[in-house]
Structures are given as structure tokens and as C-alpha cells.
Chains A and B, each alone.
Chain A
Amino acid sequence: MASASASAHTSTRARLPSAAPDIYIPEDEESLVSQLTKHWLNERHAPDILPAQEELLASLLDYIRRQSDAVQLLRGQPSASEEEHIRIMLVQMEVERVKFIVRSYVRTRLYKIEKFARFIMGDATIQTRLTTAERTHAQKHAELTDAHFYNSVLQSLPETQSHLDDTPIFMPPMITKPDESRPVFVHALRDCPPIRFHEDLTLEMKRGHISLMPYSFIEQLLLRGDVELI
């Protein structure tokens, strides 16, 4: 991979990293950006928290850093031609676009983590889908809100009413958890095995099929990457 800073030091006039043949991305393979876009959309539409994409994020952040460094370096060159100027601007613009998606992706997860913080602390399966930083955040958030509720209201209530995890009959439980029955729009990326809704209704989605159905039916397909949410 032709690193920008290395080539800048060797030539008198710094240039943006030219595409070396070894980093050529074949067309059938998804670029990192389109992978992230897909995960971002899935995360935005899924009621549950999806598995964290740590590696993907790390390599994209790495790319962003490298491209910004290259731009910074070139900015300092006063003699740049108009073509070079436009090139720098395009690279910078792409960096901003990718940054936007990264930010929105992280914020979406953060929103869900804060919303389900108490549930996350009591559920081992959902914890496996979070990064270490996200787990710590969930724990701290749950502890802080608990302490706040206790100090402001709960301590002056009778013992029987001072819990935050009651499951009263005829009432929704106090711990918010993901609503898996919420419908989502799914798009089949390849032919999928049949889904059974109930006794007399099954559906076999062919590639390209778009459908609205409760999240719980397609959860497994989504985790396997057979479908995407749109």
C-alpha cells in the first residue's frame, strides 16, 4: 500500500497516494465504505443491537487518518495547480462523507445502548454483540441512572415500591428491551431458506425480494448476511 507520507518525502512535490495495483479492489467485492453503509442501515432499522463491526471500523478509521494526513501535507504546498487542487478537495470531501457515516453508525448504537442499558446488564447474549467500550458505557449509564432515580425519588418510597425491575401483571415490565416483533423492510441479497410464520404460511425469499415482516423472523438471516434492512 503506497503510503502518502512515504511518497511525499521521496518526491520534491508531494502527491496523493496513487493507486498501487496491490490495493486494487475487485468489483464484485464490496468496498469497506459500502460494507459500512450496509451495517449502518441495518443498525438504523433493526430494533435490536446488532453485532459490533470493530475490525471494519478500525480499518476505515485508519484509512481516514491516512487520507487526512495526505491532504494536510498537500495543503502546505502553495504551488499546487488547479487540477491538483480539485483532487485534494475530492479526497477531503470523501473523508467527510465517510466520517459522517461512521459517526451516525456509532451514535445509533449509542442510542440503543442507553435505551436498553438495564436490559444489557442482565442479559449475556446481547453483551456478546457489544465492544468492550460499549459494555462499559452501558454499565456506567445503568448505574448512574439507577443512582439518580434512587436519590431523587425511590429512597422516599416504601420498600415494596422502590425497585426498578418489577414485572407487574397487566403492565409492561419496567426494563425496556428490544421489541423483536417490530416490522422491518428486508431485501434478500441471495436466495434464502424458507421462513415459517405460522402453521399455514411460509415464505421463500428469492434474491432481490423485498418484504415487510416482523424482525424476529429474519433475525437469523440478517446475522448470516443473507438479507439487509432497507
Chain B
Amino acid sequence: MSLPYSLRTSITPPELELIATQQLIEIIPLIAIEKTAFISGAFGPLQPPRKAKIPLWMAINLKLRKKCHIVAPEWLSVEFLQSRLDEEINEPGFSKLPFRYAEISKVLLDVASDDIQNTDKIRSLLKDLREARQAKSREGLDQINRGELSVSNLCSMEINEIRPFFVHAMGILTHLHREASTEDQL
């Protein structure tokens, strides 16, 4: 088959991770590499201890070889996540988080936990955030109709999670409406 069955309805989390790791991140290199032309652009030169911006997948690879330290993005900190969590609990809408925060925070916590401060606290905050947002998006199911459902500030992983059910539900509502209106004309 040209496309395996599991890939037909939706994109998968590993594929989302592949996309997320294209984003740039700051590192402190421990190895000198000259400027190199990649397909996605030119990166480098890396000169310790000067900070450099490279794609996340490259940073992960170097990190696994202990050839760099990763500078955690500003949003991956206790203060930022705590303020977003408070907002999430007190406000009706979704708080504004980086679009691919779930994927990026996961890979960073997996490979570079020694470069991030308070990882335990960050992990539990991320989990709370995820749960609070998940509950909200489930409530959103009430508002599905045949027209449109705004889900601004929802993140890629969360969208992917609700996609099969939401798409199916809205599809059915659209069909029901279409059938009802054709009957009116008869």
C-alpha cells in the first residue's frame, strides 16, 4: 500500500517531532566546526564557548555525543510555565504557548535534562498544563456544529490528539444537515 493505514487519517506524534526539531535553538558548543551548507541553510561556524543557533535535531545529536550544552528556551522555565498554568486555570480561553511546546519540551527533557534547571518542577507543571488544556478542549466538543470551531492557541500535539474525534463529529453533523435540507426541498 502506498500509505499505511495508520498514517491515512492523521499525522503521527513521531512525525510531529520531526517537524518540531527543525526549529532553531541556542547552544554552547564544545567542539569547533566550520560553517557548513545544509539543505535547509548554512549553519555554523561553531566556536566554543560562543553561543550559536542551530536546528534542534542537530543540537540533540551533538548533545548525545556530549559536544554541546543546550540553552533552554525562555518558556521552558518554572516562572513562565507557572504563570501560564495560573492563566489556564483562571481564564476561560487557552493560554498562549509556543505552537510546538509539547514536542520540544519532551525532547529537551529527554536528552538535555542536565542543561535545564528544576526539571522535576517543570515536568509536573507541563503535566498540569496538559491536563488543564485537555479538559478544556473536551468541553469544546459541546460547541461543535456544522459551521466552524475556533481553537486558537491550541498546540499541534493537542490538535492532533482531538483530530480524529472532532473531525468525525463535525463530519456527521455536516452530513445530517445536508440530508435535512435536501428533504426540505422535496
Contact = CB atoms under 8 A, between A and B. Distances in A.
Interface of A: 2, 16-20, 23-25, 31-34, 37, 41, 44-45, 60, 63-64, 67, 82-83, 86-87, 89-91, 93-95, 97-98, 100-101, 104, 107-108, 110-111, 114, 181-185, 197-198, 201, 203, 208-214, 217, 230
B111 interface: no
Contact of A111 (B8, B58, B148, B166): B8
A16 B36 contact: yes
Contact of A37 (B22, B34, B151, B156): B22
Given A93-B57, A185-B163, A212-B166, A34 B22 contact: yes
B144 to A, nearest CB: 8
A202 B117 CA distance: 47
Interface string B31-51: 111111111111000000000
The secondary structure that dominates the A interface is: helix
B83 interface: no
8 contacts: A16-B36, A87-B33, A94-B40, A97-B18, A181-B178, A183-B166, A183-B174, A214-B174
Contact of A33 (B22, B151, B166, B171): B22
A33 B40 contact: yes
Nearest to A15: B34
A90 B34 CA distance: 13
